[in-house]
Amino acid sequence: MGISTSLALDSKGRPVVSYYESQQQDLKLLHCGTPDCNDGTPVRAATVTTSVHLPDHTPAPCIVSGCRAQGAPVGAVVHDQATVTSNDAAKTPTGSARFAYYAGNLGCSGAPASIEVVVLSGAGNVTTAESSSTAPLTAGDYSYRTQYLPDAAAKALGFVTTPGPCEGLKVQ
C-alpha cells in the first residue's frame, strides 16, 4: 500500500480503504466484503486515470514532472478523458464519469466552473468517457477532477464511487 491511507466503514460495517499509490499518484480504493476484510470475497477496486486531450485526442504535453499538469497554447480547445480500470478482468466498471472543471487554478480548488456527467463505454475491465470540449482558452490555469460513479449493475458487483486525481492544465 502507498502513503496517505484512510479507512472508513460502509453502511454495513465493511471497511473501505483509500490510499495513494506513490509511484503513480493515483487514488486507489479497496472495498472489503466483510468487517475483517478476510472472507475470501474478491475485492473490487477501480482506478481512475485521466488525461487532458487536444481536439485530435492526443494528450496535451506534460509540463510538470509526473504529468501533474499539462500544457496548451493560448486559444487551445481541450477536453478531458477518464479511464476506469477494474482490478478484476471479468468485472466491467460501468456507470458514469463526473468531470469537474475548474478555471483559475491548477489544483481543483474552489467551486467548479462546470460539472458534466458522461456515461462510460467499454468492455472487459476498462471503460472510458470524454467530457465535452471547452471554448478556446485564454492564458491561465485550469484543472479537472474526475470521479467514477458506478451504476446499479456495477454497485451490485461491489464497485463504489471512486475519485480520480486532480490534473492541471496551464495555458500559455
- Specify the residue, 81 or 146, whose C-beta has the smaller distance to Zn ion: 81
- When asked if residue 81 is in the footprint of Zn ion (CB under 5 A), the reply is yes
Least distance in angstroms from the C-beta of 94 to Zn ion: 20
Q: Which of 10, 24, 34, 57 binds Zn ion (CB under 5 A)?
A: 57
Distance, CA of 19 to CA of 130 (rounded, Å): 25
Segment near Zn ion (CB under 5 A); pick from 57-65, 99-107, 149-157, 164-172: 57-65
- Specify the residue, 53 or 145, whose C-beta has the smaller distance to Zn ion: 53
Sheet holding 69-72, edge to edge: 69-72, 162-171, 140-150, 95-103, 114-119
- When asked if residue 132 is in the footprint of Zn ion (CB under 5 A), the reply is no
DSSP secondary structure letter of residue 87: S
Q: Which of 31, 53, 91, 98 binds Zn ion (CB under 5 A)?
A: 53
- Specify the residue, 57 or 172, whose C-beta has the smaller distance to Zn ion: 57
Asked if 82 and 164 touch (Cβ cutoff 8 Å), the reply is yes
- Specify the residue, 22 or 57, whose C-beta has the smaller distance to Zn ion: 57
Name residues whose C-beta falls within 8 Å of residue 44's C-beta, 6 or more positions apart in sequence.
31, 86, 87, 88, 91, 157, 158, 159
**Grid coordinates of 146:** 474526475
Least distance in angstroms from the C-beta of 136 to Zn ion: 17
Asked if 75 and 115 touch (Cβ cutoff 8 Å), the reply is no
- When asked if residue 28 is in the footprint of Zn ion (CB under 5 A), the reply is no
Least distance in angstroms from the C-beta of 50 to Zn ion: 11
